[in-house]
Structure 1
Amino acid sequence: MSRSGVGRIRGSALAGVLLIALCLRPAITSVGPVLGEIATDLRLGSVAQGVLGSIPLLCFAAASALVHALTARTGHRRAVTIALAGIAVAIGIRSLAVPGALWLGTVLIGLSIAIGNVVVSGIVKREFAARVSLATGIYSAVMGIAASLASGLSEPLSSALGGWRPGLAVWAVPTLVALAAWLMTSRRMDAAASAPVPVPVPPAPTPWRSVLAWQVTGFFGLQSLSFYLMVTWLPTIAISQGMDAAAAGWLLFWFQVVGVIAGPVAAGWADRLGDQGLLCAATGALMALGALGALALPGLVWVWVTLAGASAGASFALALALPPLRTRTPAETVRLSGMAQSIGYLIAAVGPIAAGWLAAATHWGVVVAAVAALAVVQAVLGLRAGRASLT
C-alpha cells in the first residue's frame, strides 16, 4: 500500500473516533446549567435533581460490562451506529412534554453513551495499535471540549429557543449529523481493514479473574470519582472558603480546561514508554498534592486547582488507554474496558453523594482530605496497572 493510502486510512479512522467523542458528553453536560429551570417546571426537589444527575453514571455502571456481548453480535461499526442513533432518539424523548419522558430519555441516553464509551476502546485498539495512548488522548480532549461547549451554550440556547425542552432537544441535531458522517467514515475504515482471513486467537481468561484487570479497574474508578466529585462540588467548596459564585464557576471552567490540555500531553508520553506505571502514579500524586495544598494554603487555590485539573485530564486519558494497552485483541479490549467502566462509573456515581453526606456530617475540609487519601491509593494502583504486561 502506498504511503498516501496509509495516511488516508489513518485520517478516516481518526475522524471516526472523533465523531464518536463529539457525541458522548453534550447530552449530559447540557443539563446542569438548566437544572434549576427543569426543577421549577417539574417541581423536582434537591434529591430528585441529584438522582437525575446520577442516572447516566449508574447506566454506565449497569451496561458497560455487557457491551462486549453486543459487539460480538453486531461488530464495532454497528454498535457505534446503535449508540449514536440511541443518543439522538433519547435526547428527543427527554425533551417531550409527557409525564416520565425526562426520566426515560435520561436512562436511554445513559445506556446509549455506555455503548459508545466501551466500543471506542476496541476501535482504538484495532485502528491505532502502535499509537493507542496518543489516539486516546486526542479522543478524550475532543470529548472534553464538546462537554465544555455544551455546558456553556446550554443556557443561552434554552433562552433563545424558549425553554429548557427545545434547548436540550437541539443537541440531537449535531448527533444526527455525526451519525450520518459516521456511516460514511466507518465504511472507509472497514474497507481499510485489509486482513481477509483473520488469524484465530486463543480465548483469553475473563478479565474479572485477572489481578491486573482489577488494578486497571481500580485506577479507572478512583480517577472517575475524583473528577465527578470535583465537577459536582468544587464551586460549593470554593464558595465555602469565601469565593464569590461567579469566580467559583470560572474556577471549575479552569479545572476542565487544564484537563483538556493535560490529556493529550500525558497520552503522548505514554506512547513513548513501555511501562506507564510511573506516569499513572504521577497523576494520583498530582491530585493528592492539589488537595493537600488546598488545605494548607487555601489562598493559592488557583494553583491547586491547576494541579488537580492536570491530574484529572491526564488520568482520564491514561485510564481510557490502559484497556487497549493491557490486552491483545480488540475483543479483549472491549471486555476489559467494559469491566473497568462498569465498576468505575459505579464508584463515580456514589462518590459525590457520599461527599455531600460527609460534608454535612463534618465539613468540606474532611472531604478534601479524603480526596487526597483516595488519590494516594489511585497512585499505587496506577503504578501496578501501568506496568508493561497483559491481562
Structure 2
Amino acid sequence: MTPATRQRAHSVGVLMLAVAVAAVNLRPGATAIGPVLEELRAGLDMGAGAAGLLTALPPLCFGLGGAAAVTLARRIGLSGSIAAGLVAATAALLLRVLTDVEPVFLALTVVALLAMALGNVLVPAWIKHDGAGADVILMTVFSTGLVVGGALGPLVTAPVAEHLGGWRVALGGWSALMAVALPLWIWLAAHERGRGADEAAPLQAPEGRMASSPTAVAMTALFGMQSMHAYIQFGWLPQIYRDHGLSAAHAGALQAVLAGVGVLGALLMPTVAARTTNLTPYILSFGALLVGGYLGLLVAPTTVPWLWALLLGVSGFAFPLTIALITARTRASAVTAQLSGFVQPIGYLFAALGPLAVGLIHAATGGWTLVLVLLMLSAVPFTLAGLRVARPVYVDDELA
C-alpha cells in the first residue's frame, strides 16, 4: 500500500509526540559544548588540538553515522534503529561527563554523535512510512524540534553550569532529557517487530543508484551548502561582530536573533514544500538574502547589525525546506530513507569543511574581507542547486 492509503500504525498524537521527543534531542549533545568549552578544557586538561577536534566532530560524525543508518534500518527496522540510537546516545552523554580521561571523553562524544545521526536520517523515513497522510505536520514538528534543540544547547548549558554545579552537570543533563524519549521509542520498536514485514518497513534498496538522480544530487549540494553556512554562522558570526567593536553580550543577542528566525522557518517551510508547486521564488530569495547578509557584514557591520543577522536567518529557511523535501520529493519510504541517507551524510561531511576553511583564511589574512567575499560568491552554487531541487520531480521516478 502507498503511504496515502495505508492505515496509520498509531494515532497522530502519538506520532507527533514521538517525532518531537526524538527531534529535540538530536542537537543539544552537539551544540552544548561551546559555552563551557573553556571549563571543560580545564577540567580534562585538554589541549588546543583536542579542543579543535571536539568542535569539528558534530558534522563529521553526523555524516559518517548517517551513512550507516539505512543499512542498520534494513536489519532491525526503522523504529528499532531510532530507538537504538537514542539508547546509545543517552548512555554516552552520561558516561562522558563521569570521566577525567580526555581520549575517553572524545570517544564517548563520537559514540553519542554517531547515535544521534541515526535519528537525523531515519526519522524522515519513519514519518513517510508511519505518517500515512500526516507527513506535513510531522515534518514541521521534526524540523522545528531540530532547530529548537540546537538552540537550547548553547542557551541553557552555560547558566546551568554557572548556577547548578559546573560543566559536568550541564552537559550530563542532556542525557536526562534524552532519556525521556526512551520509553516511547522502545515501545514503538517493540510494536514494529510485532507487525508484518511490509508494515515494519524492511527498506529494500530501490532500483538505481541515488547518485543517478539529478534531484538527489542537487538536494545534497543544497543541504551541504546551507549546513556549511549554518555552521560558519554559529561558529564565527559572533566573533565577526566582536572584531568590529560590539560587546560579547550584543554579539550573543544577535546570534539569538539568527536562531530565533530559524524556528520560524522550521514552522513554515514543510507546508511550503508540500503545497507549493513552484519553489523558484523562494530559492532566489534565499540566495539574495544570503548575499545581502554577508554584504552588510562587509560594508556596514555595526550600522544595523540586527538586519544582517535577520537576513542570514531568513536565508537559512533553506535548511528546513531541504529537510522537508526529503519526504515531499519521494513516494516510497524505502526511497525516502535512501535519499535521506544520501543527502545528509555527504552534506554534513561537506559542511564540516566550512568552519575550518574560515578559520584558516581568517588566520592567514588577519581580517574578514576575503572570508565574506567568498561566502557571498558561494551563493551562486547554492542558488543553482536550489533551482534544480525546486522542480516538482519525484526521486522515485528518476531512479526508475
Range with bigger deviation, 143-152 or 9-18 = 143-152
Matches within 5 A, 1:35-184: 35-99=37-101, 100-128=103-131, 130=133, 132-184=135-187
Could you tell me which runs of 5 or more consecutive residues in structure 2 were left unpaired when the two chains were aligned: 1-6, 396-400
Distance 1:58 1:150, change over 3 A: same
- One-letter amino acid of the counterpart of residue 266, structure 1: M
Residue 50 of structure 1 and its aligned partner are, at CA, apart by: 1.7
SS of the equivalent of 1:306 reads: helix
The Cα offsets for residues 313-357 of structure 1, whole Å up to 9 and x where unpaired, read as x11111111222222211111111111111111111110010011
Aligned counterpart, 2:4: none
- Higher mean alpha-carbon deviation, 352-361 vs 178-187, is at 178-187
Q: Which amino acid aligns with 1:18?
A: A
Q: Any idea what the Cα deviations from partners look like across 1:66-122, whole Å, max 9, x if unmatched? A: 211111111111011111101101102211224222111110011101111000110
CA–CA separation in structure 2 for the residues paired with 1:149 and 1:200 = 33
Q: 1:204 to 1:6 in 2, by over 3 A?
A: closer
SS of match in other structure, 2:266: helix
Task: Calculate the TM-score normalised by the size of structure 1.
Answer: 0.91
Distance change (3 Å), C-alpha of 1:263 and 1:197 = closer
Aligned: 1:351 with 2:351: no
Aligned residue pairs total 386
- Name the CA distance, whole Å, in 2 between partners of 1:263 and 1:161: 31
| 1:390 corresponds to which of 385, 394, 398 | 394
Amino acid at match of 1:94: R
CA distance in 1, matches of 2:361, 2:27: 28
1:223: how far off? Answer: 0.3
Structure 1 residue 301 and structure 2 residue 285: aligned? no
Residue 142 to residue 193, structure 1, CA distance change in 2 (3 Å): farther
Aligned pair partner of 1:328 in 326, 331, 355: 331
Distance 2:231 2:216 in 1: 22
Counterpart in the other structure of 2:270: 267
Asked whether the equivalents of residues 95 and 101 of structure 1 are also in contact (C-alpha less than 8 Å), the reply is no
Residue 87 of structure 2 aligns to which amino acid in structure 1? A
Does the 8 A contact of 2:16 with 2:141 survive in 1? no
Deviations 1:23-79 (A, max 9, x none): 101111221111000112223333321210111211112221221111111111101
Residue type of the partner of 1:23?
A: N
Q: Could you say which structure has the higher helix fraction?
A: 1
Structure 1, gaps ≥5 residues long:
none
Q: Which residue of 2 aligns with 1:375?
A: 379
- Between 1:240-249 and 1:132-141, the stretch displaced more is 132-141
Asked whether the equivalents of residues 121 and 333 of structure 1 are also in contact (C-alpha less than 8 Å), the reply is: yes
User: In structure 1, what is the equivalent of residue 214 of structure 2?
Assistant: 211
User: Which secondary structure state, in structure 1, belongs to the residue aligned with residue 180 of structure 2?
Assistant: helix
Distance in 2 of aligned mates of 1:56 and 1:294: 27
TM-score by length of 2: 0.89
Secondary structure, aligned partner of 2:304: helix
Structure 1 residues 16 and 252, CA gap change in structure 2 (3 angstroms): same
Aligned to 1:233: 236
* Distance in 2 between residues matched to 1:30 and 1:274, nearest whole Å: 38
SS in 1 for 2:393: coil
Q: Which moved more, 1:152-161 or 1:335-344?
A: 152-161
Distance 1:233 1:201, change over 3 A: closer
Alpha-carbon spacing, 1:332–1:365, altered in 2? closer, same or farther (3 Å): same
Identity percentage of aligned residues: 32
Asked if 2 retains the 8 angstrom alpha-carbon contact of 1:133 and 1:317, the reply is no
Q: Name the CA distance, whole Å, in 2 between partners of 1:162 and 1:181.
A: 30
How far apart, in 2, do the equivalents of 1:367 and 1:297 lie?
15
Q: CA RMSD in A?
A: 2.7
Separation (CA, whole Å) in 2 of partners of 1:200 and 1:294 = 46
Deviation at 1:240, TM superposition (A): 1.2
Distance 2:199 2:111 in 1: 36
Letter in 2 for 1:377: P
Alpha-carbon distance in structure 2 between the residues aligned to 1:384 and 1:390? 12
Q: Retained in 2: the 8 A contact 1:278–1:382?
A: no
Query: Aligned letter for 1:261?
Result: L
